Amino acid sequence: MITVEDLQYAINTTAATHAKAHQYTTNLPLLSAIGHVLAEEIKADFDIPRQNLSAMDGFALGTDSDLDGDSSFVVVGESCAGKPYHGVVGVGQAVRIFTGAVVPDGCDNVVMQENTDWDDVKHVIDKSSSYTITLTKQSHLGNNIRCQGEEVAVGECVLTVGKRLNPTDISLLANLGVANVVVNRPLIVGILATGDELVNVGEGLPGLANIYNSNTPTLKTLLKDLPITIKDYGIIPDDLTQTCQVIEQAVHECDVVVSSAGVSVGDYDFLTHAIDKLGKITHYKVAMKPGKPFVFGELYDKADNSKTVLYFGLPGNPLSCVVGCLQFIIPALWRLSGVRDDDLPKRLTLKATLSHDIKKRAGRKEFMRGVYQQDEFGKCVVQAVGVQDSHRIKQLSLANCFIVADKDSEGYALGDEIAIEPFGWGLY
Ligand code: AMP
Ligand code: MG
| 331 backbone dihedrals φ, ψ, rounded to 5° | -60, -35
The answer, yes or no, to whether residue 269 has pLDDT greater than 90, is no
**Class of residue 316 by CB neighbours under 10 A (exposed 0-12, middle 13-18, buried 19+):** buried
Number of domains forming the structure of the chain: 4
- Nearest of 297, 304, 329, 25 to residue 183 by alpha carbon: 25
Average pLDDT over residues 99-108: 95
User: Is the pLDDT higher at 264 or at 96?
Assistant: 96
Residues 115 and 169 in one domain: no
The 10s digit of each residue's pLDDT in 399-414 is 999 999 999 999 999 9
The type of residue at 18 is: H
| Domain identity same for 174 and 193 | no
Percent over 90 (pLDDT), the chain: 89
Per-residue confidence (pLDDT) for residue 391, from 0 to 100: 67
> Could you tell me which of 271, 419, 421 has the C-alpha nearest to residue 331?
421
CATH number where 85 lies: 2.170.190.11
Report pLDDT digits (tens) over 181-200. 999 999 999 999 999 999 99
Last residue of a domain, one of 314, 337, 360: 337
Same domain, 176 and 191: no
Question: Are 43 and 165 members of one domain?
Answer: yes
Ligand 2 center from residue 12 Cα (angstroms)? 28
Q: Is residue 196, in this structure, part of any structural domain at all?
A: yes
Most confident option among 137-146, 201-210, 379-388: 201-210
Q: Are residues 107 and 177 in the same domain?
A: no
**Whose alpha carbon is nearest atom 11 of ligand 1?**
316
What is the mean predicted confidence (pLDDT) over 244-272? 94
Residue numbers of the domain that contains 176: 38-48+160-183
- Domain identity same for 323 and 244: yes
Determine, yes or no, domain membership for 239: yes
Q: What is the pLDDT of residue 75?
A: 96
The last residue of one of the domains, among 278, 305, 337, is: 337
**CB atoms inside a 10 Å sphere around CB 417:** 12
165 assigned to some structural domain: yes
Alpha-carbon span 77 to 133, nearest angstrom: 13
Q: What is the pLDDT, as a whole number, of residue 22?
A: 64
So what's the pLDDT on residue 99?
97
344 domain-assigned: no
The per-residue DSSP string of 240-289 comes to HHHHHHHHHHHHHH-SEEEEES--SSSTT--HHHHHHHHEEEEEE-BSEE
pLDDT digit string, tens, across residues 305-329:
899 999 999 999 999 999 999 999 9
What is the distance in A from the centroid of ligand 2 to the CA of 183? 39
Question: Which of these three, 302, 337, 372, is where a domain ends?
Answer: 337
**Predicted pLDDT at 21:** 64
**Confidence tier at 265 by pLDDT (50, 70, 90):** confident
Residues 354, 375, single domain; the answer is yes
> Which DSSP helix (H) or strand (E) runs through 222?
helix 215-222
For residue range 15-39, list pLDDT tens digits in order: 999 987 667 999 999 999 999 999 9
Q: What is the pLDDT of residue 65?
A: 76
213, 319: one domain: yes
Q: How far is the CA of 272 from the centre of ligand 2 (A)?
A: 12
Encode pLDDT of 124-160 as tens digits: 888 888 999 999 998 888 899 999 999 999 999 999 9
- Write the CATH number for 17: 3.40.980.10
Query: What is residue 390's predicted lDDT score, i.e. its pLDDT?
Result: 63
Q: Looking at the structure, do residues 246 and 218 belong to the same domain, yes or no? A: yes
Q: What pLDDT is stored for residue 126 in this prediction?
A: 85
Pocket of ligand 1 (CB under 6 A): 193, 195, 197-198, 211, 213-215, 260-264, 266, 269, 315-318
φ, ψ dihedrals at 26, nearest 5°: -145, 150
Return d(Cα 412, Cα 403) in angstroms, integer: 11
Residues 113 and 69 in one domain: yes
Question: Is position 210 within any domain?
Answer: yes
414 burial (CB, 10 Å; 0-12 / 13-18 / 19+) is: exposed
Q: Which of 213, 59, 48, 223 is nearest to 136 (CA)?
A: 59
d(CA 359, CA 247): 40
At 14, give phi and psi (nearest 5°).
-65, -45
The band of 389, judged by pLDDT with boundaries at 50, 70 and 90, is confident
Q: How far is the C-alpha of 257 from the C-alpha of 32, rounded, in Å? A: 25
Q: What is d(CA 176, CA 15) in angstroms, rounded to the nearest whole number?
A: 33
Same domain, yes or no, for 288 and 398?
no
* 331 and 198 co-located in one domain: yes
Give yes or no for residue 369 having a pLDDT over 90: yes
Residue 411 lies in a domain: yes
Determine the Cα angle at 367 with ends 362 and 373, to 5°: 120
